[in-house]
Structure 1
């Protein structure tokens, strides 16, 4: 809640393992992890590969993908009304992994397979989160 009593969106928890990811988001860059051993590119950031437990490096993503799945919520108790409806989606990135994110558009402007690109949204005084918007036709 804000001082005026208006609810606010919750900010993600920043851990030592994810700090660089959130710092890059604040700079307008989307980072993924890539395994040095098996080459798997994945999201959500963690130090070891979820497939082979190999060491990983950071890799900058293009920020382009398509909607794999989504859900529209029109009412959420304790959620800022200016942020509704809320579209939660799995976006399949060009690099391969799928990430859970929000789509910022009219719910009627999206369907499975819609091409999207990343934008960065301030969410609290110290947090910027990646969200996605449909790519305009012809781009």
Structure 2
């Protein structure tokens, strides 16, 4: 069983996108500022006029951690978790799959893929380019 993210009216567009194979980033329709994680108001101009862009799905490891303990339901340890600088200028946290804990470093280029858990949840995961 996977740990499920909280889905609300601010993040629903993001999770709808992952089900469609898109990495969506909130964008203010008033000033164009991008934001992740999504929220109700723009942090640049305070407008409530939200939209989104579809990201290229590529980015660079800004930082990372290797999770070794405690166990995570449905996951095999260790898990590599990275803070990814997307090419579009925002950062997001995500699991890096298919790499050993000594095969990741700051500056590694990554591409998003999508892991379908069930009909309601598809998670973005990252892999080395």
Cα separation, 2, equivalents of 1:38 and 1:53: 10
Alpha-carbon shift at residue 98 of structure 1 (Å): 0.4
Q: Does 1:49 align with 2:29?
A: no
* Aligned-CA RMSD value: 1.6
Aligned to 1:102: 95
Report the TM-score, using the length of structure 2 for normalisation.
0.88
Segments ≥4 residues shifted beyond 6 Å: none
List alignment gaps of at least 5 residues for structure 1.
Answer: 1-7
Aligned to 1:114: 108
Q: Which of 34, 52, 60 is equivalent to 1:66?
A: 60
Alpha-carbon shift at residue 124 of structure 1 (Å): 4.6
Report the TM-score, using the length of structure 1 for normalisation.
0.82
Q: From the CA coordinates, give the structure whose radius of gyration is larger.
A: 1
Closer, same or farther: CA 111–25 of 1 in aligned 2, 3 Å: same
List alignment gaps of at least 5 residues for structure 2.
Answer: none
Cα separation, 2, equivalents of 1:70 and 1:132: 12
Q: Tell me, yes or no, if the aligned pair for 1:35 and 1:56 is still in contact at 8 Å.
A: yes
Q: Tell me, yes or no, if the aligned pair for 2:113 and 2:127 is still in contact at 8 Å.
A: yes
